[in-house]
Amino acid sequence: MDLARLPNDKKLQLCRWYFKVGCLLLPFVWAVNAIWFFKEAFMKPPYDEQKQIKKYVLMSAVGAIAWIAVFAIWITVFQLQRVSWGATGDALSFIVPLGRA
């Protein structure tokens, strides 16, 4: 879809919709939203709906980054500590590695 062909209110509607969908625990939708509408929000000359689009883009970006941070921390902790967690570590694992602790 080419944003250039959409009228401004449709752009706002799309950006809002993506933000709302992302609230359903979908950080990737937020990330897409932030990147896709970035040009519209910050690099195009101002127009009416741009302020609200900016707001949604920022919120999506912040949300996506927060999710990424949480995932990164959890993944790091899990990878480093799984062995020392013993039975709990195995219970949390979907695929337990063969041949090593």
Residue 5 corresponds to which amino acid? R
45 binds other proteins (CB under 8 A): no
Piece of the chain touching other proteins by CB under 8 A; list 12-20, 24-32, 40-48, 84-92: 84-92
- Single out the residue of 7, 13, 10, 23 nearest to residue 62, CA to CA: 23
5 binds other proteins (CB under 8 A): no
Q: How far is the CB of 28 from other proteins (least distance, A)?
A: 23
> Got the DSSP string for the chain?
--GGGS-HHHHHHHHHHHHHHHTTT-HHHHHHHHHHTHIIIIISPP-TTHHHHHHHHHHHHHHHHHHHHHHHHHHHHHHHHTGGGHHHHHHH-SSPPSS--
**Residue placing its CB nearer to other proteins in the complex, 66 or 75:** 75
98 binds other proteins (CB under 8 A): yes
84 binds other proteins (CB under 8 A): no
46 binds other proteins (CB under 8 A): no
**Residue placing its CB nearer to other proteins in the complex, 80 or 95:** 95
* Binding footprint of other proteins on the chain (CB under 8 A): 86-87, 90-91, 93-96, 98-101
